[in-house]
Amino acid sequence: MNRWSQVGIVARWEFRRFVKLKQQMIGVVIMVVVGAIGNGMGKMADRARNAPVTVGVVGSLSLPFVLPAVPGVTWDSTRHPTADQARAAVSAGELDAVLVVSSPGSAELVVKKRNSWTGTVEAALTGARREAALAALRLDPAAQASLAAPFSVTVSTVSAGSAQVSRGTRIVAAAVLMSGLLMLVSGFASLFAGITGEKQQRITEQMIAMVAPQTWMDGKIIGLTGAACVGTGLTVGSGAALLLLIPRVLGKPPLNISWDSVSPGLVALVTLVTALGVVMWFSFMAAVAATIDDPNASPRAPLLLLPLLPVGLAFSLLSRAESPLAQGLSMFPLTSMAVLPIRVVLTSVPWWEPVVAIVLLAVTAWGFRLAAGKIFAVGVLMHGKEPSLRETLRWLRTV
C-alpha cells in the first residue's frame, strides 16, 4: 500500500478523533454566553460607577475657581456650613462625602468608606484649578490652544519597500499569528493526549505492525493540524463575529477596517511561517510525547511549554522590533515563527530576511520531522520506563 495513502488514512482518523463539532460548538456557545455575562457585568459596573453622589462643600469661597462639573457628582455648599456638621452628615449617610477646603490649592475629601470616584473628583478639581490659573494669565485663545496642543510627529521612510503597513494588514497578520499560536496550544494538547493515550492503551505495537512509525507520525501531524485548524477557526471565527456583532447590538460604531488595503503578500508570508512553525513544533511534540510513559507523573511535561517561549520573547520585543537581537531571532528557526511576523509588520525588513528565515525554518522543520520520527519509532514501543536523554540521542544515531 502506498505510504501516502496510509498517511491520508491516519490523518483522517486522527482528525475525526479530535474534531468533535458538537462539543466545540457548545464551547463556542459557552464563550458567547460568558462574553454576554461579562458585557452585562461591565454595564452594571458602569452604572454603579456613575451612580449620582452628593458631596458637601465647606469653605468653597476660598477656592480660586468655580466648582467644576463632574459626571454623577452634585456639589452642595449650602446645607452644612461647618466642617463638623458636614462630617456628621457623612457619618449619618445624608451626604456621600464632604470637601473641606483648607487653602486655595488643597482640600480634604471626607468619605464614609473608600471608593473609586474620589480620583475623578480630584482630577476635575486639578483641571479646574489649571484652567483658572491659565485664565488669570489673560492669554488670547490661540495661545491657550497652543499650550494645550500635543506635538505632532509624522513618520516617513526613505528606503524602498518600507511603506507603512496598513491597519487592515496588521490586523490580519496578527490574527494569523494568534491563530498559529492557538493551534500550537490546542494541537499540543491533542498530540500529547493522543500519543500517551495510545501508549497506555497498548495500541502502539498493533499500529507499528501496520504502518511505518514515520508514516504514522506524519499522518498524526497532518490530522491534528487539521483538527487544530478547525478548533482555531471556530474560536477565531466566533470571536470575529462577536467583534462585528457586539457594536451593532450596543449601538456603537462598527469596527472600521479597510480590507482593500490588506497586503496579500504579507499575509501569505505570515501564513507560511506559521504553517512551517506548526509542523516543526508538532514534530517536536510528537517525539516528546512518545518518550513519556505516564503523563501524570512524567518530569518531561514542562517540555511542552518550550515552544511557547518564543512567543513570550516576541511580545517582549514589540517595543524593540528593529533591534539587531530581534533581527537575529526573526531568522533563528526556533523563534522565527513568532518574531518574524512582528518585525515585518512593525519595522522595515530587507527582502532577504524573510527568505533566509523561511529557508532555515523549512530545513529545520524537515529535520525535526525526521529526528522526531526516529525517536517516535522507538519511544512508542517502550513501556514502563522513560528513556534518558543519552538513550534518546543514541536512537537518533542508530535507528
Partner 1 sequence: MTTDASLLTVDDVHKQFARIHAVAGVSLNISRGDIFALLGPNGAGKSTLLRMLVGITRPDRGRIAWMGRSDDAARVALRMGYLPEDRGLYQDVPVSRVLAYFGTLRGMTHAAAVSAAADWLERLSLRERAGDLVRTLSKGNQQKVQFAAAVLHRPEFVILDEPFSGLDPINQEVFLDLVRGLRANGTTVLLSAHQMSLVERLADHVFIMQGGREVLSGTVPQIRERWGAGLTLILQAPTFSDVGERAVAVHPAVTSAVQRDGELRVEVKPTHPVGDLLAVCLAHFAITGVRTEQSSLHEVYVATVGAAAPTALAAVTATEDAA
Residues that bind partner 1 (CB under 8 A): 1, 6, 9-10, 13, 17, 198, 201-211, 381, 383
Rounded least distance, CB 257 to partner 1, Å:
42
Length of the chain counted residue by residue: 399
Instruction: Name which of 9 and 356 has its Cβ closer to partner 1.
Output: 9
Cell numbers describing residue 140: 488670547
Rounded least distance, CB 153 to partner 1, Å:
60
Instruction: Name which of 178 and 208 has its Cβ closer to partner 1.
Output: 208
DSSP-assigned states of every residue in 331-388: HSHHHHHHHHHHHHHHS---THHHHHHHHHHHHHHHHHHHHHHHHHHHHTT--SSPPP
The C-alpha angle with vertex 305 and arms to 301 and 337, in degrees rounded to 5, equals 145
Q: Which of 198, 196, 205, 194 is nearest to 377 (CA)?
A: 205
For residues 161 and 347, is the Cβ–Cβ distance under 8 A? no
Instruction: Name which of 219 and 310 has its Cβ closer to partner 1.
Output: 219
Instruction: Name which of 84 and 205 has its Cβ closer to partner 1.
Output: 205
Q: Strand 106-111 and strand 73-76: pairing?
A: unpaired
Instruction: Name which of 17 and 129 has its Cβ closer to partner 1.
Output: 17
Rounded least distance, CB 29 to partner 1, Å:
23
Within 13 A of 4's CA, how many CA atoms are on the CB side?
Answer: 0
Eight-state DSSP code of residue 258: -
Instruction: Name which of 31 and 381 has its Cβ closer to partner 1.
Output: 381
| CA dist 231 → 82, 114, 141, 224, 237 (Å) | 66, 45, 58, 10, 10
Residues sharing a CB contact under 8 Å with residue 295, sequence separation 6 or more, in sequence order: 192, 193, 196, 301
Rounded least distance, CB 215 to partner 1, Å:
10
Rounded least distance, CB 191 to partner 1, Å:
16
Rounded least distance, CB 197 to partner 1, Å:
8
Instruction: Name which of 207 and 356 has its Cβ closer to partner 1.
Output: 207
Rounded least distance, CB 17 to partner 1, Å:
7
Cell numbers describing residue 69: 462639573
Cell numbers describing residue 338: 513568532
Instruction: Name which of 196 and 263 has its Cβ closer to partner 1.
Output: 196
Rounded least distance, CB 341 to partner 1, Å:
37
Rounded least distance, CB 198 to partner 1, Å:
8
Instruction: Name which of 9 and 132 has its Cβ closer to partner 1.
Output: 9
Q: Which of 362, 373, 344, 328 is nearest to 268 (CA)?
A: 344
For residues 204 and 198, is the Cβ–Cβ distance under 8 A? yes
Eight-state DSSP code of residue 73: E
User: In whole angstroms, what is the distance from residue 203 CA to residue 220 CA?
Assistant: 14
Amino acid at residue number 194: G
